[in-house]
Structure 1
Amino acid sequence: MSKQSICERERSHLEKMNKFQLGNQFKKVGYIIAIGTFVIMIGRKYIENSEWIRPILHGILLIGLLIISLSKEKLEDEFIDSLRSQSYRLAFLIAIIYSLVQPLVNYAVGVLIDKNEQIESFDYFQVLFFMLIVQLMFFWKLKKMNQ
């Protein structure tokens, strides 16, 4: 097997992964999962000894948002694809800035309030949730602005 054919095969795999999207019908499934999970998360607050279910609900909520994010629009063209790429790029950059700045803000506010604060980082759920929400909001806003 030549080096050229290995590179071509890898390029083909990367292109397929780059173009991966779910069908439009999955968008409804994602909304049902995300909204249903959010309602359950609110309801969980009123149930004692339910802390064990929290990471499970976080994971399910992220899956619902990811399904929404990966679902095609009813009319999917190159322009929509471009808007989607822009929204992912913006969400990634804003999530990095947010992840770097927010612990410092929390620390500064904590020091002002109780003088005994430590810098704490985020857990994966906070960063991924923020990134998916920002991506979806930017995508919807870009789409609305360009209609």
Structure 2
Amino acid sequence: MLIKGKLQRLNLLEQWRRDSYRIYFNLAILALYISIIRWVLPLWAHGNIHDGIVGCICGLAATFWLTCIARLTLPDDVTPDQLNALLTKAKYHATSAGYYDVPLHKRMKFKSQRIYIENQTGQIVLTGPHNILKRIRNQLEEG
């Protein structure tokens, strides 16, 4: 069974609304690493300060891009049982609040790791991490 789904990343404003703490966390990590690279590393080595800052910014930007929040729109012929099977295969569990979450310690979770399932007219819309939704879409396309 070949099922086509439309996967689209949310813009920065919508991601901010979904999980502002994740953006704060990335900015705090960026500030911490830049301060370490700028003031601590020059005590032991000479040069490479600018390269370290550029590498830190590139690494956090790539991480933010790969783990961003996305929206997957599926046709109505996908059953909830198929979605449950794929989500449990990806180690997600249903919560009493109506979304799927990873069983991690509370301090290790972000809201952006949750997967929300909404039924719209003739379509099922999943909102969650891009890499997980991409895997779900690929598994549904494979059959």
- TM-score, normalised to structure 1, is 0.30
Higher relative contact order (CA 8 A, sep 6+): 2
- TM-score, normalised to structure 2, is 0.31
Where is the strand percentage greater, Structure 1 or Structure 2?
Answer: 2
Where is the helix percentage greater, Structure 1 or Structure 2?
Answer: 1
